[in-house]
Each structure stands twice: as C-alpha cells, then as structure tokens.
Structure 1
Amino acid sequence: MTRRTQTHPDVADPRTGAPFFSTWRVGTPERQARAVEAVTHVWERRSWPSAGLLGYHLYTGHDGSTLLHHSQWGTEQAYEAFVRTHRQERNDEIDTAVPGIERLWLGRYRRHRSRERATGDVRVPGLIVTVRIDFEPSATEHRADWADLVLDAVADDPVGHRGLISAHFHLSTDGSHVLNYAEWESVQAYDEAVAAPEKEPWERVRTYPGVRGFTGSRFTHAAGLVPD
C-alpha cells in the first residue's frame, strides 16, 4: 500500500539510481494546497506502483504558484514501466480534481556528490532551495568539476553555512545543467548566507567558464508518499 509521510527524503540514498525532478504551475496558494491533496489522495487509494520507486515527494513553491515533484527511482527502466502502466490514470484523476495544471518540465538526473547531513544533526529543514545552473554545450564535461568547486567552497566556510543542513548536486542526463537540492534550517538562515560578503572561492564559482546562468527557487516540503 501507499503511506503519506511528513519525513523529508534521504536524497543521498545510494539505492536511488535515477532521481527525477519536475515542476507544475498551478497558479495560487489555494490551488497549491488542493493539488497536494489531490495527488496524495490519488496515490493513497492505490497500491504502491513499483518496487523500483523509493519515494515521491511534493513541495510548495514560495512563489505561491508552483509545485516541485521529486521521485526517487532505482532505475530509469522502472520509471518507464510506471509511465506505461500507471501514470496517465493518476494524472487524469488529479486533473479532474484541479483543472488547468501546467506541467512545465521533467528532468532526469544522476546524483554527483553531496554535502550530507552531519552525524547527529536532527534538524528538520525549514526551507528547500533548488538552484539550476545551466552550462554552454561546450562545457558539459566540466559540470562535475564546478559542483566539486562549490562543495569545496562550502567546506571552507562552515560558519557562513551553519544554517545549511545538506546539499545535493545532480547532473542532468541531457548534459545541459546541474541541479542543487539544498536543505536549510530556515528562510532566515538562507537569507543570511546569501547576504554575507562574497569570499574568493565564490567569485570563482560565479565566474566559472561555460556557466550560462543560475535559476533559484524556494520550496516547503508539503508531503511525501512511500510504500507502507
């Protein structure tokens, strides 16, 4: 069966060979809440669809309009089997409950490296920040090096990032970008880190050759769905 949970996912779970992220635009905070309830209702009424799916999590965007979806698949083949047999009927029921959903994009990834939660750290993330970093086609092979540079900069500045619980860098399978999924203690902790004076390692991150641009979004974890 399927169970709803408020527990955040273990993004670094080594069983996740194919993490997926996608975004829906629903329009208003009220419709965000309705969409979360529609998704969880549809899933809870059905059996867990695949042993290859570890968990599926929903997040409400602080823009009041979007939903982030994060699903943890063991393999892409398991996801493709789900698409063939289960996805459409679920989406149809969700669209009946909340008409007019815009499905903006679906990204397939491989997790590269993480700054994992420290041993004994039991903080519950108050803010999820995703940052998409787009690269020029000629710089695709340097995406992992860029992510490593960021993680080194974070490690060199523990005081400035004390509100950071974890950060997980994913490489898109189409070669176009990096997605960082970061757990922060609170909105205030994140804002303080962003407002701090820029140190030399961050200048190198920001001006790294081949980086086309950064797109950041803020979310709150709304619900998780896991096998019972």
Structure 2
Amino acid sequence: MQQGKGIKILVVDDEPNILQFLELGLANEGYQVKTAQDGPEAIVLAEQFNPHVVILDVMMPGMDGYEVCQTLKDMKPVAVIMLTAKEEIDDRVKGLTLGADDYMSKPFGFGELLARIQARVRNQFPHLLSEVSVGPFTIDAARKEIKYRDRALDLSPTEFELLKHLVLNHLQVLSKSVILDQVWGYDFGGEENIVEVYIRSLRDKLQDREHRVIRTIRGAGYRVDLL
C-alpha cells in the first residue's frame, strides 16, 4: 500500500521503543518519516523537514508537548496529533485549545493512527491525495475516478465518494449513520436505507457477488477488505 506517498510525518516521543515502532510502521506505509526525542529537537527538525503531520507525545521532560504544539502551529501549517497516557478531559481541551488537530490516548492501535493521519491529510492537505493506492484500489481525486485491480469503475459522484470513504477507512467498520454524515452530509434528511442501495450498486460494479470486498458486519456496518 502506498497511501503515504509524498506525505512527511515527524514523530516526537521520549520513548525510543515507540519512536522505532512508529518510524518502521509509517515508513512501510510509504510515508517519509523523521523522529525526535524532545521538544527542541522537534522544532529544529520541523524547520528543516517541513512535515505535513506531527505525531506528538504530551509528557516529555523539559519542553512538553503542549509547548511544542503551540510553537509548531505558530511556525507553519501542520496537522498535530497528540499522544498521551492521560485521559482527563481537561488535558484534551488544553491540547485542542493550543491548536492540536486530534488526540489519541496510549496505548493506541496502529491501524487507528493510520486512519487519523489520513483524515488529517484529507482535511488539511487534500492536494497530496490526488492519487492514492490502497491495496487493489487506486483513487484519483482530481479525475473523480477509482480503479479496482487496474479496471476503472463507472461510478456516479455519490458512488465515488462512498467507495473512496470506505477504502480510505478500510481499517474501520463504518455504521450507516456515520456514512450518511460523512458522505451525504449532516443535513441529509433521507433514510439510512439509501446506504444499502448504494452499497448494493457498488458490489455489482466491483463484481463482489459474495460480499468479500465490501463486507457487512452484522449489527455494526460495513468494512472494505483489501483482497
């Protein structure tokens, strides 16, 4: 998978094991990755590396993550995902108030982190995702085209948005209500059954007769499997 192609990520944490784990995992996804073990090093690297996303630990000695976040946000456009062992609401509010774009508590799943990185890039640097390859899918946002196993699919605008959303969030099970909010919009006044209609159409176009590509997770929603 090359969903990270052309995207730069700076990982900041004072725990070497976490740095190594994230550096290897993110590099394997195609991201360009740099790491820093403290705040001052992170700021110097950010000036040189110009990351799109910074994964930033809160609890570091000396210059903590809150101060680093505020400094980075004052420097240049960057998406900041803060990591912390703390779960108190006040800590989350403080980070978000200082400009953090997202917040994850340790321990966290690598798949969830990938999904959050992609969400931040889509929202703040959409030009970087003009073409994204995820498993057998290639999504060309500029041309509004999706290929499956090198075969271009004949999709309506809504089908394109729905399949793109399912593929880019393939690590998650998406409920009908979430799909409606994120694809049709919060002001959509129709019924949830419209999702089933579009899923059925997508399966036909993917020749997914046995529902192995777009899976129905009973009682929860839908998930794309990268076969």
Asked whether the two chains share a fold, i.e. TM above 0.5, the reply is no
TM-score (norm 2): 0.29
Structure with greater strand share of residues: 1
Q: Which has the larger radius of gyration?
A: 2
Q: Which has the higher contact order (CA 8 A, sep 6+)?
A: 1
TM-score (norm 1): 0.29
